[in-house]
Structure 1
Amino acid sequence: MAYSNGTVLNFHNTLLRESDVNLLMGPHWLNDQIISFYLEYLEKNVYQNTRGLLFISPEVVQCLKFVSGQEMSIFLGPLNAKGKSFIFFPLNDNDEAKAGGNHWSLLVFSRPESTFYYYDSLHFGTSLKKSLRPFLFELAKAIDCPEFEVRGGECVKQNNSYDCGIHVIYNIECLARRALKHNSLDDDESTAADENPTKITNQKIRQKRQDLLNLIQKLGGKL
């Protein structure tokens, strides 16, 4: 019997297939396509009139990890990364230039603070692993911030092995609101629940999968 993997939604530059959407229907790790879709939704629908935010797709982030500093400009130049105040990088722990990986975390650059914030829902530590340090130095130069600080951001710890992608999506939502309201990502700047990754509840994490399915359908997806 032939395997069917038809198109569910074609949204701007993101194509969602049945195999992608099925990841939202059970206890599964989210892939690049689902996260890319939601970042594109934020860019095109939620923050379409906001110039200071930039959401980098996981596919581009993975490419950036394996190119030289000069080559980074090929990817970041057309996105006007040097002119953005806050840049969101969903990170895959895959150390090879091909599909794979077991965990998502989040790196956010705050230009007003000249700081990279790192958010990891497994709480493996507040700092980026050493293998990513050279990438970070090249990235900082590519976005015109040669002198910078790295800080660990506070966020809720996931309580299973598969919801890291959902946590990344929620953290991006909260931090985008915080950035726009306070022009900063400092943990002391906001206590509002919708701006604070430490106040995301397990109930919201469970509900987010259905919320994403509802959004896909609302945008014309054939579920």
Structure 2
Amino acid sequence: MENESNDVVLNFHDSLLYKADVSLLDDQKWLNDKLLGFCFEYFEREKFNHSADKLSLINPDVAQCIKLLPNDQLGEFLEPLNLPSKQYVFLPVNDNSQSEQTGGSHWSLLVYIRSRQEFRHYDSSKHTNQEEAKRLAYKLQPYVLAPMGRMKFLEMDGPQQNNSYDCGVFVIATAEHLCKELCEGYSIPLNDIVTPKTVTETRRKIKDLIYETAKEYSGS
């Protein structure tokens, strides 16, 4: 009999999730690129689709390629994303330097704000991914048409994790909050909303969202 963990739970546009992926949302497990990719895709296509013209949430696999591909190969790769037209670009950052895979041991969030001409880095384990995020920002700079002389990179005072495994959930929760703030005028401070306590609840909400979306997209 086929291993249950290989059973497909959700097929949503470019996201394919198996039981083994969804089980990572149980307590004290590190989230993989597939879970972050689904949440980013869901935010862009569904939850914040009213702002699709100004918002881009980039898949972890694509972010990894941006970080590691030679500059002369990036233009053609990034063209379909239409980044020069976007006001806000979100990218998950990881500390893995291998081009064949996504992962490493830590996730953080990089956000480009066009009106401020700045990249903001939200790291739930302060400064752990700072160099990786800077490298990604400077690789992306020509493709978002950020003016090099005035472009800023800011390490933000964002929510902090108190364990070794919740970084991916912090990225998802922070990205969702910032989308609400930037696209819907939500004004409650990030650090009041995203905390170690609410992140535990976010795990359950993501799991519920996956099963609800699966039901909706299967037509059952």
Other structure's SS at 1:8 match: strand
Distance 1:47 1:30, change over 3 A: same
**3-state SS of the aligned residue for 2:68?**
coil
Aligned to 2:54: 52
Unaligned runs of 5+ in 2: none
Question: TM-score, normalized by length of structure 1?
Answer: 0.87
Instruction: State the alpha-carbon separation in 1 of the partners of residues 89 and 203 from structure 2.
Output: 24
The alpha carbon displacement at 1:179 in A equals 1.6
Query: What corresponds to 1:91 in structure 2?
Result: 93
Report the equivalent of 1:114: 117
Aligned residue for 2:30, secondary structure, equals: coil
- For 1:159, give the aligned amino acid: N
Cα distance, 1:39–1:77 mapped onto 2, change above 3 Å: same
Which of 203, 207, 210 is equivalent to 1:216?
210
1:81–1:103: structure 2 CA closer, same or farther, 3 Å change rule? same
Structure 1 residue 178: Cα displacement: 1.9
* Equivalent residue number for residue 71 of structure 1: 73
Work out the CA distance in 1 between the residues paired with 2:34 and 2:118.
28
Compute the displacement of 1:220 (Å).
2.3
Structure 1: which 5+ residue stretches go unaligned? 183-189
**Aligned residues of 1:36 and 1:57 also touching (Cα < 8 A):** yes
Greater fraction helix: 2
Using the TM superposition, give the Cα deviation of residue 134 of structure 1 relative to its aligned residue in structure 2, in angstroms.
4.5
Which residue identity is paired with 1:218? Answer: E
Identity %: 33
| Cα distance per residue 1:66-122 (max 9 Å; x no partner) | 112232222321111110000000001101113230000011001101000001001
Root mean square deviation of aligned Cα: 2.1
The equivalent residue for 1:186 is: none
State the 1:144 CA deviation. Answer: 1.1
Aligned counterpart, 2:179: 176
Q: Which residue number corresponds to residue 30 of structure 2?
A: 29
* Residues 155 and 198 in structure 1, CA contact (< 8 A), matched pair in contact too: no
The TM-score, its normalising length taken from structure 2, stands at 0.88
- For 2:66 and 2:191, locate their aligned partners in 1 and report how far apart those are by CA, in whole Å: 26
Query: Take 2:210 and 2:88, find their aligned partners in 1: how far apart are those partners?
Result: 26
Separation in structure 1 between the aligned mates of residue 181 and residue 72 of structure 2, nearest angstrom: 32
SS at match of 2:89: strand
What residue in structure 2 maps to residue 61 of structure 1?
63
